[in-house]
Structure 1
Amino acid sequence: MDDLTTRIPVPLVDPERPAGLVARVESLTKSYGAHGARVDALREVTLGIRRGEFTAVMGPSGSGKSTLMHIMAGLDSPSSGRVWLGDTEIGSLGDEQLTLLRRRRVGFVFQAYNLVPTLDVEGNLMLPFELDGRTPSVREREWIDELETVLGLDARLGHRPHELSGGQQQRVAIARALVTRPELVFADEPTGNLDSRTGREVLQVLQSATRGYGQSIAMVTHDPVAASYADRVLFLADGRLVDDRTGMTAAEIANYMLTMEQVS
């Protein structure tokens, strides 16, 4: 199999790029429509996701949270501005190169579980390795076993998605995003379909991924309790980054969000 470095152009490295960022955007704008019907989902957003940090992205409905995530993950393209994964400016990549980059450096957890219906739980968890043409290492197998246990999947490994509840499917999707220990995991409302107890367990797993393995998590959520598990909270409003906070409690986040909604 071709090595990734032979398939992706030499990264366009910005000498002024702050150290320790796994992803960033600069002057990012995303618009839909034209002329009088134009809508700006994002407006001149500049931010970075730091290595080994759990970042939550919050904001009122329509603030651009999911649009920002999709563009940073290379699933959508900006109207203007620049996007990097690591030192690679992804706007310069072709579709195949971008797919390889995402496969080896990024994990995804979205509201649509996107599990393969013909594969059982174990098969879905092994899928990222199969797509990359390899088998898990001993250390990776230990991490997979830990994920299966913590997320309560041990007794479900032979079940197919249609035999699982929505919450169980979400747990499989989260485990699949983490199995290869990618540098960065994008999560869109990862606890939205889970009961409070399982949701807390999932958030603790995401925390352990950052603190124990140095992975970075970027999570879109509307839930102040979920966001309180993050090291850092980014607030968007009307497509703009309006605040960047650390160490916030659920109550502080809820009060901040209430103020934002009243202002809007």
Structure 2
Amino acid sequence: MGASGSGKSTLMHIMAGLDSATSGRVWLGDTEITRLDDDQLTLLRRRRVGFVFQAFNLVPTLDVLGNIRLPFELDGREPNPDEAARIDRLVQTLGLEERLRHRPHELSGGQQQRVAIARALATQPDLILADEPTGNLDSRTGREVLAVLSAAARDYGQAIAMVTHDPVAASFADRIVFLADGRMVEERGRSSAEQISAIMLGMEAAR
């Protein structure tokens, strides 16, 4: 969390290997990604990182199932039986069973975000980067999306790094890092939305 320009997006891009750090080292698990070349980074992002964007970024010419299976297509393979079963579970959990043959333009914003989350979770990546994943959703749908992400972390051990301006969304996190001017200025464990709002207001007052 942090004000606009505090470095949230830059940090996320560095974590994903999309941007290079000017100093220091970046690790994903036991892999130092700062030492990888472009081809190795592409492979790492494809196989070990999932992305959930505020703008959904679904492929308009693919139906829901095609979008969910896209990471496997890009990797040049079909889902194995375990992966196919996981996709089936995600489709059921996210309530997409009746929408598998629909294109993105036939879905509501909340349904499109659910498809994006299913796509990000389908390969069971080590890290999911969520950039304002509830920013375009109404409050009820946003809470449903956050509950799905929480379940992924709890049930499958997937790490989720989320950028958000929303104290309610941040209250779902186990760890909250506050940024200002490119630096980490505060770190808290699980906190209520009210506590998070108070910290953000204090940071604004100190600027």
In structure 1, the partner of 2:31 is 88
Q: What are the equivalent positions in structure 2 for 1:81-120 lying under 5 Å apart?
A: 81-120=24-63
2:153 pairs with 1:210 = yes
In structure 2, the partner of 1:236 is 179
1:143: how far off?
2.5
In structure 1, the partner of 2:204 is 261
2:110 pairs with 1:167 = yes
In structure 2, the partner of 1:68 is 11
In the aligned structure 1, how far is the partner of 2:154 from the partner of 2:45? 22
1:195: how far off?
1.5
Deviations 1:54-107 (A, max 9, x none): xxxx11111111110011101111222221222222222221111001111110
Amino acid at match of 2:195: E
In the aligned structure 2, how far is the partner of 1:214 from the partner of 1:167? 24
CA contact (8 A) 1:236 1:243 kept: yes
In the aligned structure 2, how far is the partner of 1:148 from the partner of 1:252? 35
Q: 1:196 to 1:150 in 2, by over 3 A?
A: farther
Runs of 4+ with deviation above 4 angstroms: none
In structure 1, the partner of 2:190 is 247
TM-score scaled to structure 2, two decimals? 0.94
In the aligned structure 1, how far is the partner of 2:21 from the partner of 2:51? 19
1:153: how far off?
1.7
Amino acid at match of 1:257: M
2:166 to 204, 223, 230: 223
Deviations 1:101-158 (A, max 9, x none): 1111110111232211111000010111222233323333332223222323222111
1:189: how far off?
0.5
Larger Rg, first or second structure (1 or 2)? 1
In structure 2, the partner of 1:199 is 142
In the aligned structure 2, how far is the partner of 1:204 from the partner of 1:166? 17
In structure 2, the partner of 1:48 is none
Amino acid at match of 1:89: E
Deviations 1:160-183 (A, max 9, x none): 112223332222111100111111
In the aligned structure 2, how far is the partner of 1:221 from the partner of 1:151? 22
In the aligned structure 1, how far is the partner of 2:174 from the partner of 2:199? 16
1:226: how far off?
0.4
The two structures, once aligned, show a CA RMSD in angstroms of 1.4
Q: What are the equivalent positions in structure 2 for 1:26-37 lying under 5 Å apart?
A: none
Q: What are the equivalent positions in structure 2 for 1:7-26 lying under 5 Å apart?
A: none
2:81 to 132, 138, 143: 138
TM-score scaled to structure 1, two decimals? 0.75
In structure 2, the partner of 1:122 is 65
What SS does the corresponding residue of 1:82 show, helix, strand or coil? coil
- Farther-moved stretch of structure 1 (171-180 vs 85-94): 85-94
- Farther-moved stretch of structure 1 (150-159 vs 204-213): 150-159
Deviations 1:7-30 (A, max 9, x none): xxxxxxxxxxxxxxxxxxxxxxxx
More strand by share: 1
